[in-house]
Amino acid sequence: MNVGNCFPINGKIETECLSVALFQMKLAVVPKTREEVMQNVDKIIEWIDRAITGFPGIDMIVTPEASLNGVGPHASLCCVTLYGPELAKLKAVCKEYQIWLAVGACVDEQDGNFYKNCAITINDKGEIVDIYRKVTPWNPVEPSSPGDEIRVFEGPKGSRIASIICSDGDYQDNWREAASKGANVVLRLTTYMTPFENQYEITNRAGAYFNKVYVVAANTSEMDECYSLFGRSMVVNPEGDIIAQAPVGIPYIFKADLYPGLCDAIQKQALMGDLLWLRNHRGAASPDTYGTGSDSTMYSYLEDK
- Choose, from 166, 177, 222, 263, the residue flagged as catalytic: 166
Query: What would the DSSP string read from start to end of 163-213?
Result: EEEGGGGGSHHHHHHHHHTT-SEEEEEE--BTT-HHHHHHHHHHHHHHHT-
HSE-up of residue 22 (Cα within 13 Å, Cβ side)? 32
- 14 is annotated as an active-site residue: no
Strand-pair partners of 188: 164, 217
Asked whether 66 and 40 are in contact (CB, 8 A), the reply is no
Separation between Cα atoms, residue 184 and residue 266, nearest integer Å: 10
- Annotated catalytic residue: which of 6, 26, 43, 65? 65
Chain centroid to Cα 98, Å, comes to 21
Whether 134 sits among the annotated catalytic residues: the reply is yes
* Given 91, 116, 134, 255, the catalytic residue: 134
Minimal CA–CA distance to 56: which of 82, 84, 19? 19
Would you name the residues annotated as active-site residues? 65, 134, 166
